[in-house]
Structure 1
Amino acid sequence: MSLGYIANRTGFPEQAVAYHQHALALFRELGDTSSEADVLEQLGHSLTSIDVIRARQAWEQALKLYEAQHRGPNADRIRADLDTLPTAVPPIR
């Protein structure tokens, strides 16, 4: 997860997504839903400059997990992040 964060912060969002997806697969395999939610949150941040629809999906998954885990501040942060995303994608011209 840290490699993904660093890659995204240093301007390599595609590499960050790859790191996050790898971490996500590992945490899911381990059944670690707390870390899964954290990775989904970071994945959403990395995806915002690449694919807004996938970013929204990642954050919505993270939100569900945070709510189920009673992690209120984390859920609130995700709700705020979701509010920053456009609700509709403009048509390609």
Structure 2
Amino acid sequence: MKLVHLALVLQVIYILLMTFFNFVRIYVMDHYSVYLVAFFELFLGIASFICGLLGAIKKESIGLSIIIMIFGLFICVFFVFIYLLGEAGIPPAIPWFYSE
């Protein structure tokens, strides 16, 4: 399997997790911890970015590799905005940048 296809599979898993299987995310957040969901989403973003980068280095579908890298970077930035930054006086879900 090409790295580009693996990255596409990871991104499809991320999109399905955010849309159709959102109830699974909410269940895990409520019953276990937000860390499991957050780090799984971060793993999907970093892994797809690295697969896209390696695909571009190996020259496997350069255009698709660049799109995959951009979307993987968007997933990582989304992680920062959702889980690490507070909003309107509400503390962040993962308080790495702020003391409690």
Please give the TM-score of this superposition, normalised by the length of structure 1: 0.52
**How far apart are 1:76 and its partner, in Å?**
1.2
Map Cα deviations across residues 19-78 of structure 1 (whole Å, 9 max, x no partner).
xxxxxxxxxxxx332211101112223344412210110111111000111112221122
Give, in whole Å, the separation in 1 of the partners of 2:10 and 2:70: 15
Cα distance change on mapping 1:53 and 1:89 into 2, 3 Å: farther
Which residue number in structure 2 is paired with residue 33 of structure 1?
Answer: 3
Higher RCO by CA contacts (8 Å cutoff, separation 6 or greater): 2
Q: CA RMSD in A?
A: 2.2
Determine which structure has more spread, i.e. the larger CA radius of gyration. Answer: 2
Which residue in the other structure is 1:42 paired with? 12
Identity across matched positions, percent: 8
In the TM superposition, 1:1-93 aligns within 5 A as: 31-48=1-18, 49=22, 50=25, 51-70=37-56, 71-85=65-79, 86-87=83-84, 89-90=93-94
Partner of 1:9: none
Following the alignment from structure 2 to structure 1, what is the Cα–Cα distance between the partners of residues 77 and 49? 13
The 2-side partners of 1:67 and 1:54 are apart by: 20
Change in CA separation of 1:54 and 1:47 when aligned onto 2, cut-off 3 Å:
farther
